Structure 1
Amino acid sequence: MTERRPLTILFADVSGSTRLFESRGDEIARRIVANVLIALAEVAGRHGGRVVKTIGDEIMCTFPGPLHGLLAATDMHRRIKNDPEFQRDNLAIRIGLHHGEALVENEDVFGDAVNTAARMADKSLARRDQIVTTASTVFGITNTTGLRVRPLGSAWVLGKQAPIDIVDVLWQEDIAHVTTVQRVMQAIDATVTTERPRLMVRHRSQAFEIDEGTPFSIGRDPASSLVVETEWVSRNHALIEWKKGYFMLADRSTNGSWLKIGDDDEIFVHRDETHLRRGGSISLGQAHQLDDSDLVYFQCID
């Protein structure tokens, strides 16, 4: 039977699992990740949620309404942070969710709402210990819940004609510079200014400020905006430019680039592009090493 109904879709992904498999071995790491997913499923059930599927180290759940999903998301983070076994291995989760019309068929869920929720949980948007959702999901929920959010700007979602406003749901004690969920739309509007977005880039002793009208090239070519002379860096290795509302990193190299944001796992980019948000580092031509002297650091300034 196929039916359409409004649902809150939640994706939770285990952060740190790659290092876990390297340090603990496949069998032990697989057991620990499975235990994390079981713990997340138990939390979902307590909030009226249903587990649709697990995909590797990720779990997908549905909830009858936004509040159920939001409260489950905050409790999921607390469950992982309060478990000594998970903390011994420095595990955390990142969560993305969205409420919208979904197509339910044979116990699975499909449609635009699922795609949007999955995008919220993407590494390029959500970091470890973070809950990212659409502003429409939290709009109208009263402040009696005590939930707090912080505007994150907007994000492009495949199939959407325009970027959508997104927020970070704060579940930890530090809630400076945040707003109650019922005021999220006003808070987002208040963050819109005439100031142009900028990206600060630093490599060794050099520092650069990039704005939306300035493409920034990186490579061994002497004509590059930033010249990095190491053998694993291509002549025209990468380009940073403002596209579709973001600063985008486009890799054009032979060996690829590795992007790291906060404590998240590295993202490998090769002949492709990804957007830069908040702050982090880029390793050109090889994965991040203990010697960080060749890293390119960036910081987004809204």
Structure 2
Amino acid sequence: MFISPMLLATSDTAFSDQQYIFEPKIDGHRLIFSQQNGTIRLYTRHNNDCTRQYPELLLPFDDDIILDGEVACYDPKTGLVDFESIMTRFMAKKSEKIQQLTGTLPVTFVIFDVLHYKGQDLQQLPLMQRKELLAGLTLPSDRFGIIPFIEGAGEALFKQMQDLGLEGMTGKKKDSKYYNRRHSAWKKVINWSYADVFITGYRKAEFGWLVSLPNERGNLRPVGIIEHGASPTHKKAFYGVVAPLKTDEDREFVYVEPRIKARVKMRNWTKAGNLRIPVFTEFIV
């Protein structure tokens, strides 16, 4: 049984508030764990069935239950969450590959909410009551964990997330019910990284700016594409000056001289040295 997950609003800054609890933000993907009549199904936030991808999570609880959390891979060397590894697990489709990755890239289901238990719908209970029920569960294996939280001290937790280079944190009102949509009772604060990049092209159809950075030899190399953050004013300014800088084009892109520089914020760098989800913030003169 799938339940539409409660999604987080965005807070631009970290905050402290005794009406909230604060949790580390896990850099994996959202997972709804559903055990009904002894049958376990796993779903993404978009109601895509991903039961096959994670066989190590197909272990029963003591009764029917629906849980909300994040499925993640941890780097055995650093102990930190590795987003690219969980995407490798999620994209695996063939049974042989899935079995192989279960051994080399095992996942952990980090649980932060319980929505149904023993036939009862818990979504209208205040969050702290649901947390109390969650804390009393017996987990079926060490592939399952419960997210820790602190009360009130959001700014101190966010400082720890910054120091560790982690994705950020969430703040949740203690008395919040579980809404099956985005709601301001739950907020995320992202620990953004920043980079200054050269715009070296643009997409012909939907919006997208190609961006590059110098490599160790001083030559520009592509590092991603900006698809978010630019306002209509920014776009108008860019397209008003870019025409004389055109150098080439193909079916999808127009390529330009690297004269326009921009600052972007991003989740982090990928292992290949690319920007992960870059968001435009401003032009640099």
TM bin (shorter chain): under 0.3
Larger RCO (alpha carbons 8 Å, 6+ apart): 2
**What TM-score, normalized to structure 1?**
0.27
